[in-house]
Amino acid sequence: MGCPVHTWCFQGAYTGAMADAGHPKLSVWNTYRLFYGQFRTHFLATGAIAPSGGALAAEMTAPLAKARGLRSLRVLEVGAGTGVFTRAILRHLGAGDSLDICEINPAFQPVLEARLQQARVEERGIACTIHFGDICTWEPRPEFDFIISGLPLNNFSPDLVARILSLLGGLLLPGGVLSYFEYLYVRRVKAAFVRNETERARLRAVGSVVDCFLHNHTSRAVPVALNFPPAMARHVWARRARIDKAAPVH
């Protein structure tokens, strides 16, 4: 069953480089105001008080940047928010490439559409589709070279984290790369200050699920200090056959 609440597509021929012109919806004030408003009303899905910074976006797209121009690429972005990673992804795509964006919160629709318009994806020949809905109920074909996730895993239940990691891993082509991030020491800090034992147990279980997933796959962690808050970007390589499911939660 398809999940999109709204799907928006751009396809066309390449005619030039990415536009540098500003867009009113993409001003720093407008994007921060939108993000903070969604943080206050939809904390579970938003997960941070401010959008990610340029340094984190550059690291999250580093594996994609190395593959630029080698072949036609298919990229999936999950949890796009205000499109900070979207902008970085589009810098590395060209004619014949495709980008699917999955965002659960339709409030981000105007700013994401503005990102694609500013990047002139139609003229550059990049096929872009925005799916507004839950990644867990969307059923795309497993044919992505790169998946870049902004999902706030530490906000979710251990079972949901296991499901998401298994799902995203299964959508990669053999040898593809899943990139996601966490804020540095977030589970450790939360566990130290949270008095609710149920919440502490949830955080420990999430950590166990993530650690097991990383243990079973080739991965690389890169700290990004120039972000608010400081973050750890993680790149996970799909096995040449198929990524195994994350370990079950006990």
- For residue 51, the domain's CATH number is 3.40.50.150
Tally of domains in the chain? 1
Confidence of residue 30 (pLDDT cuts 50, 70, 90): low
- Residue 126 lies inside a defined structural domain of this protein: yes
Which is higher by pLDDT, 243 or 169?
Answer: 169
- The pLDDT of residue 128 is above 70: yes
Query: Cβ–Cβ contacts within 10 Å for residue 5, how many?
Result: 14
At 88, which helix (H) or strand (E)? helix 84-91
Is 248 within a domain?
A: no
Instruction: Provide the pLDDT for residue 54.
Output: 92
131 occurs within a structural domain: yes
The H or E element spanning position 132 is strand 127-132
